[in-house]
Amino acid sequence: MRKRAVLAAGTVASLTLLGTGIAPAAGTPDKNDATTTYTVLMAEGADRAAALEAIREAGGRVTAENRAIHSFTVTAPDEGFIAKVSASGAVYGATRQRPVGYVPKGKRAPADRDTVEKEHLAAARAG
């Protein structure tokens, strides 16, 4: 249980660094068809079915799940989702997903992953 609490705290801290859960200000243009990708963290001890129901009722659709840390990747309307889903006791919190960095054009290193993986497998076989 302690491991899960530490894991949940780390996830929430990461989510907080990735983006605030602040909804757009009132009076912004209506974007009925616009959606955003969110990360939703289930509350500790909460029922998975209740969390999924809260996501659905808030207008979200689960696209991926990480059962190890009780989080869901959700596609939902741009506006109002965070407040609606966070009102449920089955949900610890939610945040919009967004990139935290980028590689400038022309600066990308060539991918040499296959070579490294082959060397690793050869070393593992050799003992």
Specify the pLDDT at position 11: 55
Domain 2-126 carries which CATH code?
Answer: 3.30.70.80
- pLDDT of 67-91, one tens digit each? 999 999 999 999 999 999 999 999 9
User: What is the number of other CB atoms lying within 10 angstroms of the CB of residue 89?
Assistant: 12
Q: How far is CA 60 from CA 57, 69, 73, 97, in A?
A: 7, 19, 10, 14
Residue 43 confidence (pLDDT) above 60:
yes
The residue-averaged pLDDT of 47-61 equals: 97
- CA-nearest of 37, 59, 62, 43 to 5 is 43
Specify the pLDDT at position 10: 54
